[in-house]
Chain A
Amino acid sequence: METATAVSVTSAYRSYSRRKVLFIVAISTATILLGLFSMVMGSAGLSPLDVIKAIVGRADKHVAQIVINIRLIRVLAAIISGINLSLAGCVMQSVLRNPLASDYTLGVSQGAAFGAALAIVALGAGSVQSTSADAVIIRNPYLVTVAAFVGALSATLAILLIVRYRGMTPEAMILAGIAFGSIFSAGTVITQYFATDVQVASIVFWTFGDVGRVSWQELAIMGAVTFPAIFFFMLNRWNYNALLSGDDVAISLGINVRRTRMLGMFFSSLITAVVVSFMGIIAFLGLVSSHLMRRTVGNDYRYLIPASCAMGSFLLLGSDTLSRTIVAPVVLPVGAITSFMGGPLFLYMLAKGNRRI
């Protein structure tokens, strides 16, 4: 039997949940509008109407070429990378119970970059050029992705092992991540000196990622990885919630904690790897977007996962638009913009001693 107060408690909860859904819808809408704006911006002098016409296939060939193959692909790449990096961040934070965890702070991105660089230089999956416009040419995106994934996974395994055999504070775990990250970054730089014709440009390629390098084929590979990963993470959203209350509670709620943790890290590494292999390292985005959303929609993964996806793509798209316009016609690497955004937040979190999620 349900009484009046029980009804009012559940209806208050329902309206609280509805507000979260509305918020997520609002950010997603803002992302789409920002995408249109981003496609309008640029030297070709297009109007919003031109862009919409091109998307629905009613523009002339020249305009369509610019809008679809230069602008749209860039916007989609930013959206998918934003989703991937923030998903990886928010899942890693739950399964490691560490609010500072993310692809970048744990060295997973650096591991992926090293793997990709190795595939391109040593395994012949592409070539490193000296010009800054096309510093790296990828000929075999599958091989690059697999190698990046192996690199990301080795950083992940190193973190998992160190967590398992030495119970660690969140801060110590991040220090270990920084150590792994530096080792991998050094490996990447050294690898590139073995390439035939190398200059600084190609090193910047990996250090500061850029969403403007992607081909349609590469985008398709990213999508093929991203959508199953979103589904998998959503399937586990209750488990991530339960992990927030500790392993014992999660087990008592019927959760296979070890498998949830391993698979969570596995898929996080995979989605990080596809981003890094084609775009390089985009620092701090995963950390910033997941924390902005923790503060607004809260830690409930049922809402945090879609909210982080929306916020991640909004932020990356925004950063990319900024990087194209701030000193136009020069295009800055978007990774530099996200670092400017994320660095201060990371310092703030460390200073605040934010040890819980």
Chain B
Amino acid sequence: MLVADCIAFKYGTRSVLKEVSFTVNKGEICSLLGNNGAGKSTLLKCILGFLRPGRGRVFLDGKDLSSMNRTELARRMGYVPQMDMIPARLTVFDTILMGRRPHIIWEARPRDLEVVGSVIETLGLQELSLRYLDELSGGELQKVVIARALAQEPEILLLDEPTSNLDPKNEVEVMEIVKYAVEERGMAALIAIHDVNLALRFSDRFVLLKDGCVLASGGPEVIVPTSLKEVYGTDFDIGYSKSMKVVVPLSKKWEDRKELISGGKSYGQG
């Protein structure tokens, strides 16, 4: 469904993306993994058209995104940005209604309100619908932002670290919402994410970014200690919990230093 073909992007002379190609299929969640500064956010912004890639093209259902106008792009792609903004003083309902903006000509029609109502219901936000955003907790706020993107009725959702500031309960809830939306509505989702375990638990496909290139892409089989070490620069253990793959990052440097400090003994014994 979404095909990125040889995307390259430079900030000034600094090359962030060199040659990135991958595919996301309908009904799939695809996780974009890479260390800080690997270009995950930049890649999302190139796909969304915020940034113009120096080279390469993105296709959605075979159609080149650069040939679409702003409204068409907004009708087909929903974006959930990183949470670094002070929330505006708007009600939850008004915020989600804004997702209908690409579909509204002059004023919201009954159908727009219906879509917002049903998204609110699906995400269980009924109690909050007339509350202001700045009165919400981080988890609630993130759900509202996702609800706004869902109200756009897009074909693909692009999420930039949607779980980075959330507690474990909210992390899982947010990812479940995304999974539900993808399965129920036959959408696709591309998620830039740091938490490898969450990615493993919820996504069907993985794209590992390293130095502006795709190191590996594919199903859960690409998540192995060697590829993770290559991406994050540290060792990983892989285990299983309730038949789910779990990765544990190890810190070699810290182990070495600990030995150095305590003269070869661990703190427990000293």
Contacts and interface: CB of A to CB of B under 8 A. Distances in A.
Query: Are A and B co-members of a single complex?
Result: yes
Interface of A: 2-3, 5-10, 12-14, 16, 238, 241-242, 244-246, 248-249, 251-256, 294, 298-300, 302, 355-357
A254 B91 CA distance: 21
Nearest to A16: B130
Interface centre among B73, B81, B94, B152 (most CB of A within 10 A): B94
B117 A252 contact: no
Contacts of A356: 86-89, 134
A16 B94 CA distance: 11
Contact of B101 (A9, A242, A300): A242
Interface string B70-100: 1111110111010001111111011100110
B85 A252 contact: no
Interface residues on B, range: 35 or more
A163 to B, nearest CB: 17
Given A5-B121, A248-B50, A14 B113 contact: yes
B8 to A, nearest CB: 21
Given A9-B93, A244-B90, A254-B101, A249 B121 contact: no
B66 interface: no
Contacts of A12: 129-130
26 contacts: A9-B117, A10-B114, A10-B116, A12-B129, A12-B130, A13-B113, A13-B129, A13-B130, A238-B101, A242-B98, A245-B95, A245-B98, A248-B45, A252-B50, A252-B77, A252-B149, A253-B101, A253-B102, A254-B71, A254-B72, A294-B89, A298-B90, A298-B91, A299-B88, A356-B87, A356-B88
B73 A241 contact: no
A294 B132 CA distance: 13
Nearest to A13: B93
Contacts of B101: 238, 241-242, 253-255
A258 to B, nearest CB: 12
A115 to B, nearest CB: 34
B118 interface: yes
Contacts of B130: 12-13, 16
A10 B99 CA distance: 15
Contacts of A248: 45, 50, 79, 81
Given A10-B117, A252-B74, A254-B74, A5 B126 contact: yes
Given A6-B120, A9-B117, A244 B88 contact: yes
Contacts of A5: 121, 126
Contact of A2 (B85, B86, B87, B117): B117
A241 B90 contact: yes
Contact of B102 (A13, A241, A244, A254): A254
A178 B175 CA distance: 48
A254 B71 CA distance: 5
Nearest to A94: B88
Given A253-B102, A254-B73, A356-B134, A245 B121 contact: no
Contacts of B71: 254
B69 to A, nearest CB: 8
B48 to A, nearest CB: 6
B224 interface: no
Given A244-B88, A252-B50, A253-B98, 15 more contacts: A3-B121, A5-B126, A10-B113, A14-B113, A238-B98, A241-B90, A248-B50, A248-B81, A252-B77, A252-B79, A253-B102, A298-B89, A298-B91, A298-B94, A356-B87
Interface centre among A2, A253, A302 (most CB of B within 10 A): A253
Contacts of B74: 252-254
Nearest to B81: A248
B126 A9 contact: yes
A262 to B, nearest CB: 16
A177 B225 CA distance: 56
A6 B118 contact: yes
Interface centre among A7, A10, A246 (most CB of B within 10 A): A10
A302 B48 CA distance: 27
Contacts of B70: 251, 254-256
B136 interface: no
Contact of B79 (A13, A249, A256, A298): A249
B260 interface: no
